[in-house]
Amino acid sequence: MKMDPEKRTPLYRERLLHIIILGGGTLLLLAFVILRYEGFFAMLRYLTDTLRPLLLGILFASILNRPFRRFEAALLKLNHRRKNRFSQRFCRVGALFATVLMTLLILVGIVCVILPQLRQSIGLLTEHSAFYGENLRQWLTANRMEFILQWLSGQQASRMLEMAKEYLPTVLAKTYDYTAGLIRCIIDIGIGAVFSVYLLADSQRLKQQAADIVVRIAGKKRQQRLAEGTRMICMTFARFFSSQLTEALILGCLCYVGMLIFSFPYPVLISVIIGVTNIVPYVGPIAGTVPCTAILLLVKPDCALWFVLFIIVLQQLESNLIYPRIVGHSVGLPPAWVLTAIVIGGGLWGIGGLLIGVPLTAVIYTLLFGKEPQTAASKENIT
């Protein structure tokens, strides 16, 4: 059955108008990005800096949403067995309290157990730096590597000293900026944590309000599509960060146990560095192994090579056996996409970009190709 041309013409014109407006807006945006890319990225950095507390709150809420849902499901299941049942609101408040308490206990454990040992290790390393330097010199001499000492004591040492004198005032001048940035980061994290609690507490009402607003503006069908897209974005970020944090915790614990077994020095300091840097995929293990190897070269040079071999074996064991069984699949992007996301994210937003670049790229991948990236059975590693 064919539609009447008089009824088809307005619909056709309306769709054509939408296509022209959308295409024209896209072309204008691309032209602005290409011609004024510096201003575009500056505006993007300004927006992210301004909205950082809220973005951190959304990130924290997406990470804590999993334990919050599990606590809520357990309380609801327990509540159904009672004769005098509590309200669903009471169960949500109890689940939120349990989630916040669990998070605080983890943070207190880190502060009370790990930080004192870290401070002690760093203090000992700084205090005995001269002794460790002499120890390295003797080790190089004993292993017939005097050419390294001669190279360091020649013109290269003079150049390094001149560079240090040149850049030292700049570093000292920027100390205030770094301190102010650290204080602002702590404040943003605090505001984000409080905001995440409010998001978890009123998640149902906020979802309903957002759905009502979108329905009134764009209609029911577009609201459903937008809800599916938002759900996909939240799941991608939550899955990535929960997987990476779990992996970092497992790897840090295994590294600590292995260092105790092989009697490597500074096990707490090195294990924390390995675990924290492993949050960044692919690049993180390399970035963590280099400074740890440098520390061992100063403290106990004979252990440096064995430590590198130990980390390689540990990475392969964790990636191929432990990670797939305990953590499961993460975003599933190919290594080329992951490295591209890390480079671009780190260049735009620094350390924060290293963390959010991979899940953000996974979201863009899904939006472009209409399907999620294929997850691998085991995570490839570059060490």
Would you say residue 248 lies in a domain? yes
CA distance 307 to 289: 9
Residue 144: inside a domain, yes or no? no
Which H helix or E strand runs over 219?
A: none
Is position 310 within any domain? yes
User: How many folded domains does the chain comprise?
Assistant: 1
The answer to whether residue 326 sits within a structural domain is yes
Distance, in Å, from the CA atom of 333 to the CA atom of 65, rounded to the nearest integer, reads: 23
DSSP type of residue 281: T
Q: Determine the Cα–Cα distance for residues 226 and 215; give it in Å rounded to an integer.
A: 10
d(CA 322, CA 68): 25
In a domain, 380, yes or no: yes
Dist. CA 236–CA 238, nearest whole Å: 6
List Cβ<8 Å contacts ≥24 apart for 256-264: 258/310, 258/314, 262/303, 262/306, 262/310, 264/296, 264/300, 264/303, 264/307, 264/310
pLDDT value at position 324?
62
Measured over the CA atoms of residue 181, residue 343, residue 340 and residue 290, the dihedral's sign is negative
pLDDT value at position 380? 44
Contact at 8 Å (CB) between 283 and 342? yes
Residue 255 lies in a domain: yes
Q: pTM (2 decimals)?
A: 0.64
Domain containing residue 313: 232-383
Q: What angle do CA 169, 172, 173 make, to 5 degrees?
A: 85
- Cβ–Cβ < 8 Å for 285, 382: yes
pLDDT digit string (tens) for the chain, length 383 residues: 455 554 456 656 666 776 777 677 777 777 766 666 666 667 777 787 788 888 888 888 888 888 888 888 888 887 777 656 666 777 788 888 888 888 888 888 777 777 777 777 677 666 666 666 666 666 666 655 555 555 455 555 556 556 655 655 565 556 556 666 667 778 888 888 888 888 888 888 888 887 888 777 767 777 778 888 888 887 888 788 877 888 888 888 888 899 899 888 888 888 888 888 888 777 777 888 888 888 887 777 778 888 989 988 888 887 777 666 655 555 667 777 777 887 887 777 777 777 788 888 888 887 777 666 554 434 444 33
CA 26 distance to own-chain centroid: 30
Task: Identify whether 241 is part of a domain.
Answer: yes
340 in any annotated domain:
yes
